[in-house]
Amino acid sequence: MAEPESPEELEQLVGYRFSEPQLLLEALTHSSYAQEAPGHLHDNEQLEFLGDAVLNFLVSVRLAESFPEYQEGKLSLARARLVGAEHLATVAVRLDLGRYLRLGRGEEKTGGRSNCGLLVNALEALLAAIYRDGGLEPCREFVERFVLPPDLAACAEELISPNYKSALQEYLHAELLPPPRYRVIEEEGPEHRKIFVMEVTVAERGAAHGRGGTKKAAEQQAARSMLELLGRKAEVHG
């Protein structure tokens, strides 16, 4: 089994020093590694379970504090975006978490270090390890620093809008079609109030366009237009 990078580097990156380093090692241990290693090692599955609950709680508290005017539906939609696999995978990649995973030979050979599912699980396990080691406050700091956007209020509309990109992706996958391709085709307005025009193309199904104040918002609108073009407007969720 290939040895991962030193977990001490990860401690420096996240800004938290473990008093019980074994908790960090457990958070980074995939079941494939635990099965192949000599002796009895704990994998990160139980920590992942706990981390998911801690993450949902902390994000829920922050959203309720930040948006007291929102009803449950909008808060639930925003939380789903922030704790969803797509967003958490980007967080894990930004932390380069794959470098620190302890993987068995099979997972190593099949690209486990870049597997989104493994990365998300390890991220949640890492949060649980921090909770077990230091309590809720360092977990809150971790979530604020790495999971939540720097300006939560500015992202409000994006967080509560329907997730047209996911709906489009799921439809194309079900139809055995290749994933959509997005590209910026135009930028309008001054730097501090820029509007992006995004184009999305789907093989043999044409192109659609969307506009927004961020690239992500423009992608969502482009995906919405493509869904309408495909006659799938009703199949949109959060």
What's this model's pTM, rounded to 2 decimal places? 0.74
Beta strands in the chain (DSSP E): 181-188, 195-202, 206-212
* Catalytic residue of the set 124, 133, 199, 219: 124
104 has a pLDDT exceeding 60: yes
Q: Domain spans of the chain?
A: 7-149, 161-229
Higher pLDDT, 229 or 86: 229
* Catalytic residue of the set 26, 43, 48, 52: 52
96 has a pLDDT exceeding 60: yes
pLDDT digits (tens, 9 = 90+) for 149-190: 988 888 887 788 778 888 898 899 888 889 999 999 999 888
234 has a pLDDT exceeding 50: no
At CA 91, angle to CA 62 and CA 150, rounded to 5? 45
Largest CA-CA distance found in the chain, in angstroms, rounded:
62
pLDDT at 1: 54
- Compute the distance between CA of residue 120 and CA of residue 87 in angstroms, rounded to an integer: 9
- Compute the distance between CA of residue 167 and CA of residue 138 in angstroms, rounded to an integer: 35
| Span 62-90, average pLDDT | 92
CATH code, 7-149? 1.10.1520.10
pLDDT at 190: 81
Rg (CA), the chain: 20
Residue 124 appears among annotated catalytic residues? yes
pLDDT at 233: 59
CATH code, 161-229? 3.30.160.20
What percent of the chain shows pLDDT beyond 70?
95
Tell me the CA distances in angstroms from 47 to 7, 12, 87, 237, one per residue in order. 17, 21, 19, 29
| Span 204-227, average pLDDT | 89
The residue type found at 140 is R
- DSSP H or E segment with residue 94: helix 85-94
At CA 47, angle to CA 26 and CA 37, rounded to 5? 30
Residue 52 appears among annotated catalytic residues? yes
